[in-house]
Chain A
Amino acid sequence: MKINKFFMGGALILAGVVYLIASSTQANAEYFMTVDELIADGDNAYGKSLRLSGAVIGDTVQYDPETLTLTFEIAHVTGDNKEIERQGGLALVLFQAVNDPTRQRVKIQYVGPKPDLLRSEAQAIVTGKLNEDGVFIAEELLLKCPTRYDEAVPEQAASN
């Protein structure tokens, strides 16, 4: 009887936690996608919570300080870290993506302060949804500039 009482209580809590995890995961899942995958997904992609990554194309960055509206395009970059390593590291992969006109691109729109790290060949990770016009409306914008801090070996020109 005693054991049952505690067992029941524990089982109830466990069930509650499992429910919390399952429902919260369900409600807040964001699908990682690359630009190619997004375009291949076609109409299915509309309205889903997505997390998209790609290389920022510097020439396309536009910022309107009146409305704080930022738009730019990102080019397809593979989502596989091992593949990136194999191709010579993130910095190189991003450089190639930006300078390859055949890569597929997606236009991103974001309202807010212009991030400090936004520049060409940065990796953008945007969270949001695709709208009917094929523009990705980002609620969150993360940027990584790989060239900055993992240049482990200095340029030789720096000496002498």
Chain B
Amino acid sequence: MIAEFGFGILVVSLIVTVYSGIAAVYGVLNKSAGLVESARRAQLLTFPLLTLSSIVLIYLLTNNRFEVSFVYEVTSRSMPTYLQVTAWWGGQAGSLLFWSWLLAVFTSAVTLRKWDRDIEFLPWVIVVSAITLAFFLGMIVFFENPFTRFWLVDGNVVPSMFAPSATATVFTPQDGQGLNPLLRHPGMIIHPPMLYLGFVAYVVPFAFAIAALITGRTDDRWTRITRRWSLWAWLFLTLGLVLGGRWAYDVLGWGGYWGWDPVEIAAFMPWLTGTALLHSTMIQEKRGMLKHWNMILVILTYALVVFGTFLTRSGVLSSVHSFANSPIGPFFMGFVTLTLVSSIALLIKRWPELQSENEMKSMLSREALFLLNNLLFMSILVICFWGVIYPLISELFTGQKVTVGPPYYERATGPLFAGLLFLMAVAPLSAWGHSTLQTLGRAIWKSTLAAAVVTIFLTITYTQNIYALVGFFLVALVLFTTGHEFWRGASARQKSQGENFFAALTRLMGRNRRRYGGYIIHISMALMAIGILGIEIFQKETQGTLAEGESLNIANYTVTYRELASWNSPGEGVNYTRSVVDIYENGVYLGQLAPRIDYYYDAEQNMTIPGQRSTFRDDLYILLVDWQPVSSIGATFKIYVNPLVNWLWIGSIVFLFGIIFAAWPEKDPAEVSVRRKSARDNRQASAAD
């Protein structure tokens, strides 16, 4: 009964969504404000409806209602309640519902904003969100219904929403299959929702962009309204990517965090266009340029988001992320194609109205360097896209399926990432409109010198690897130029306002959140680059089988095998095998680590949990590979030393700070100036007394 209820609400949501889209179009074409308002209310209604439907699904998940096939697939009795709740996004049908629910949350938030000046956008924003939501709800209702149940028909088990025949009875399995043990991890609980938050939030800028194209109000209003949305979307997308990397590092047990897996790339591609968009909308706002380009970027981002949602759950590409084949593939491709074609058609129609207000004059001006940055991001996108579709292309043209692995991506994107680092150092120093080599040189020579000194120091003390040194030089250059920018701004303010240095710095940053938030993000990217360079270039590994008391040496570390214990935990359905090793660095005892293997009975699968010791200099990462249970003569270990990788995670925390700083709501400028004026009036009034 309750499953039918959940499904019923989904159907109602779909109808309401379709209505809101149609009512908005009719309303705006017939200039009926009432109809548009009705569309807006229908849109608002989707939020409580989908919330209710989601609650029903969570109820089924947490109450072991295995007659529902989705519940059967993603949970089991041995799973703790919090994992049963998060199993909501543990499979395709549930993820689609989760996606739709997030979209309902965001579009409701958007429709509740103050629309006074932008009322002509409203109906079209509703239309775009309604089309998107209707598509996803349609996929759920017709193909990937999370409320489908099992039925017993003539001795066969058949999945179906409603009784397939009059004599059919509901069939309830004793227990579910349970979530893949690899996914029963805190990182996996927050990684997918973060990614989805990022994905879904990009629908909002897209909706406004399309509204701008349809209404012909093609100034920078749409970018200004959606600036914060883009920032938050970008924040969640980045966090989702980083958390996914951290999860892989902690759980997958291959000593890495990023494998250029097609699904990782699918989530990375909208990040690339989103990052490019973040930069190029600034040029539109400051200089009235690149308007076509911004439209193309926002359209691409939206298409890649839908494409990414589809790829991450569909099993089209073989990958660690995909768990099942699905019938919805062609519909997703159709939807992506349709939105791309119609958006581009709209853009072409408005093409003449989106002319630049300024002309790009100098190759070294800020806008030219921003354009270059966009080109680099797009190039990386093309490289990624090519890598993902290459097997299909090669099969089509040569009949031979050829694939490219991680070395392809590393080799092809490496120089471009280096170029981005260089731009991060240089672009903030260039001026809008016009810069010359002399002005840029004057601004950057001190930082360059300092970075060169650091690089020479590293050459003597740390490494002679040329790629690493180029990388470290660029990182140092970014850190010095960005640091110098903070110092320069604050000391100028210190002189002019007579404040102390820290007060000047905080006020300066507070007044220019976007600029200094951006700089903090640049710093975080440079820190992340340190970690990536470290693990990519300097990772060391060794392996061996040890008897108790024997040791393995790697870098400066000595790892000594102490003991091993194996026990069952029937309540969790897991067998634990835990080894203990002593760690020494240059002969000095540091402590113990406990790498282990967890064996899940229900899934018949091992999970290899590394023993890790992290410092700023390197990570010691030890995997228990195998052991001899009876005689317990030995255990086999694989050991990695991952230099500097911690900076990747430190960088991501700095990143988080930077983006929250940039996106934090500023006081409305009008309001601030009014208040200042009234304060001044008060002062004058009191002075007159």
Contact = CB atoms under 8 A, between A and B. Distances in A.
A6 B626 contact: no
Interface string A72-86: 000000010000010
Given A116-B608, A150-B325, A127 B391 contact: no
A113 B408 contact: no
Contact of A158 (B175, B401, B407): B175
A9 B636 contact: no
B403 A32 contact: yes
A27 interface: yes
B606 A6 contact: no
Contact of A30 (B253, B324, B405, B606): B405
Contacts, number: 141
Interface in A69-123: 79, 85, 112-114, 116-117
B112 interface: no
Contacts of B359: 2
A152 B626 CA distance: 33
Contact of B375 (A2, A10, A30, A63): A10
A152 B383 contact: no
Contact of B386 (A25, A68, A152): A25
* Secondary structure dominating the interface of B: mixed
Nearest to B408: A28
Interface stretch (B166-174, B186-194, B304-312): B166-174
B605 A116 contact: yes
A135 interface: no
Interface string B289-330: 000000000000000000000000000001000011100000
B382 interface: yes
Given A112-B543, A113-B638, A125-B318, A17 B379 contact: yes
Nearest to B391: A32
A79 B401 contact: yes
Contacts of B318: 125, 142, 144
Interface in A47-76: 51, 63, 65-66, 68
Which residue among A17, A114, A142, A154 has the maximum number of chain B CB atoms within 10 Å of its CB? Answer: A154
Contacts of A2: 359-361
Interface in A31-54: 31-32, 51
Given A31-B400, A32-B400, A159-B174, A116 B606 contact: yes
Given A10-B375, A21-B412, A24-B404, A154 B173 contact: yes
Contact of B607 (A27, A116, A149): A116
A10 to B, nearest CB: 7
Given A13-B375, A66-B545, A152-B69, A24 B626 contact: no
For chain B, which range describes its interface: under 10, 10 to 19, 20 to 34, or 35 or more residues? 35 or more
B245 interface: no
Nearest to A151: B177
Contact of B171 (A142, A151, A159): A159
Contacts of B175: 158
A159 B67 CA distance: 11
B130 interface: no
A13 B379 contact: yes
Contacts of B121: none
Interface in B138-159: 150, 152, 155-159
A32 B177 contact: no
B120 interface: no
A149 B636 contact: no
A1 B36 CA distance: 51
A150 B253 CA distance: 24
Contacts of A24: 383, 404, 407-409, 411-412
A153 B157 contact: yes
A79 B158 CA distance: 30
Contacts of A149: 73, 177, 180, 323-324
A110 B537 CA distance: 23
Interface in A1-25: 2, 5-6, 9-10, 13, 16-17, 20-21, 23-25
Given A32-B402, A65-B634, A66-B545, A148 B603 contact: yes
Nearest to B324: A150
**A contact face: mostly helix, strand, loop, or mixed:** mixed
A148 B178 CA distance: 10
Interface in B323-382: 323-325, 359-361, 363, 368, 372, 375-376, 379, 382
A25 B408 contact: yes
B323 A28 contact: no
Contact of B404 (A5, A29, A85, A144): A29
A33 B157 CA distance: 38
A85 B329 CA distance: 15
Interface in B242-265: 253
B625 interface: yes
B405 A17 contact: no
A23 to B, nearest CB: 8
Given A9-B363, A20-B412, A153-B157, A148 B604 contact: yes
B172 A159 contact: yes
B628 interface: yes
Contacts of B325: 85, 150
Instruction: Pick the most buried of A16, A23, A68, A116: most chain B CB atoms within 10 A of its CB.
Output: A116
B623 interface: yes
Contacts of B634: 65
B48 interface: no
A5 B371 CA distance: 14
B404 A112 contact: no
B388 to A, nearest CB: 12
B379 A31 contact: no
Contacts of A158: 173-175
Contacts of B605: 116-117, 148
Nearest to B179: A149
Contact of A154 (B157, B382, B543): B157
B69 to A, nearest CB: 7
A42 B172 CA distance: 53
A21 B382 contact: yes
Nearest to B74: A149
B545 A65 contact: yes
Residue among A6, A114, A152 with the highest chain B CB neighbour number at 10 A? A152
B624 to A, nearest CB: 9
B409 to A, nearest CB: 8
B72 interface: yes
Interface of B: 66, 69, 72-73, 150, 152, 155-159, 171-175, 177, 180, 253, 318, 323-325, 359-361, 363, 368, 372, 375-376, 379, 382-383, 386, 390-391, 400-405, 407-409, 411-412, 415-416, 543-545, 603-608, 623, 625-626, 628, 634, 636, 638
17 contacts: A2-B359, A10-B375, A17-B382, A20-B411, A21-B412, A25-B390, A31-B400, A116-B605, A144-B318, A150-B324, A152-B73, A153-B150, A154-B173, A158-B173, A158-B175, A159-B172, A159-B174
Given A28-B405, A32-B391, 13 more contacts: A2-B361, A20-B412, A24-B407, A28-B404, A28-B408, A65-B628, A68-B636, A113-B623, A113-B636, A116-B606, A150-B323, A150-B324, A150-B325
